[in-house]
């Protein structure tokens, strides 16, 4: 594993501990000798984690659509900043540049990006680990909802287990480095719950 894609909020959130956790996660990424791949913004948790990675001597690679650069939210102090035409190309490039995907706290965009790569993992489009950094229980309601999908027969436990969850950045990186994708084919038996 050489790089991790981090999805996170373009705001700092309601609690100072989110920014503190982003800084700690940035340092953990550098200590693990990984490059950060992220959405290229200078605002919110996106800016916090990128600034910390750069300050710690690491590599931060941003991918941002033209529309957001034009709104002056692009981070100009990165190792690399790729400007792409739209969100679809942004997400594709971020996925191509990354060996793992991690969601920190964020809003609808963070959740959408997380669920896209999580679904791709279930379908076998990639074998890369997908995770959430569950800061202060932020993702507890989402985890409960996913458990509910298993209980109600809309997802197998195998596919819930793809999602790696931890509240500690170093521990989460260790889980990602040890991750083994499920051997099962999602469509092996269409009579089973997906």
Question: What digits encode the pLDDT tens for the residues 106-128?
Answer: 999 999 999 999 999 999 999 99
Identify the burial level of 43 via C-beta atoms within 10 angstroms of its C-beta, where 0-12 means exposed, 13-18 middle and 19 or more buried: middle
Would 188 be classed as within a structural domain? Answer: no
Would 155 be classed as within a structural domain? Answer: yes
pLDDT for 184: 62
Would 168 be classed as within a structural domain? Answer: yes
Closest CA to 79 of 100, 102, 53, 97: 53
User: pLDDT at residue 6 above 70?
Assistant: yes
Q: Residue 29, SS3?
A: helix
Which has more pLDDT, 50 or 194?
A: 50
Would 193 be classed as within a structural domain? Answer: no
In the structure, what pLDDT confidence band is assigned to residue 31 with cuts at 50, 70 and 90? very high
As a 3-state breakdown, the chain gives helix, strand, coil percent values, each rounded to 5, of 45, 15, 35
Would 79 be classed as within a structural domain? Answer: yes
Contact 37, 97 (CB under 8 A): yes
pLDDT for 99: 98
pLDDT for 182: 85
DSSP 157: H
What are the residues facing 31 on neighbouring strands? none
Would 147 be classed as within a structural domain? Answer: yes
Single pTM value for the model: 0.93
CA distance 126 to 138: 26
CA distance 145 to 139: 10
Q: What is the number of domains present in the chain?
A: 1
At 59-105, the pLDDT tens digits run: 999 999 999 988 878 999 999 999 999 999 999 999 999 999 999 99
Would 39 be classed as within a structural domain? Answer: yes
Q: At 107, which CATH number?
A: 3.40.50.450
User: pLDDT at residue 188 above 90?
Assistant: no
Segments forming the whole domain that contains residue 142: 4-178
CA distance 2 to 66: 27
Would 32 be classed as within a structural domain? Answer: yes
Provide the mean pLDDT of the chain.
Answer: 94
């Amino acid at each position: 594993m050489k790089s991790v894609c981090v999805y996170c909020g373009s705001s700092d959130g309601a609690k100072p501990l989110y920014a503190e956790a982003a800084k700690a996660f940035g340092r953990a990424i550098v200590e693990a000798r990984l490059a950060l791949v992220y959405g290229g913004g200078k605002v919110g948790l996106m800016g916090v984690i990128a600034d910390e990675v750069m300050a710690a001597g690491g590599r931060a690679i941003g991918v941002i659509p033209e529309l957001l650069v034009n709104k002056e939210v692009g981070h100009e102090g990165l190792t690399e900043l790729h400007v792409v035409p739209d969100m679809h190309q942004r997400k594709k490039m971020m996925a191509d540049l990354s060996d793992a995907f991690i969601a920190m706290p964020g809003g609808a965009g963070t959740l959408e990006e997380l669920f896209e790569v999580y679904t791709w993992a279930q379908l076998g489009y990639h074998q890369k680990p997908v995770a959430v950094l569950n800061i202060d229980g932020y993702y507890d309601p989402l985890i409960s909802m996913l458990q509910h999908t298993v209980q109600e027969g809309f997802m197998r436990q195998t596919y819930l287990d793809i999602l790696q969850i931890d509240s500690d950045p170093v521990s989460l990186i260790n889980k990602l480095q040890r991750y083994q994708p499920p051997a099962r084919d999602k469509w092996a038996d269409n009579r089973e719950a997906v």
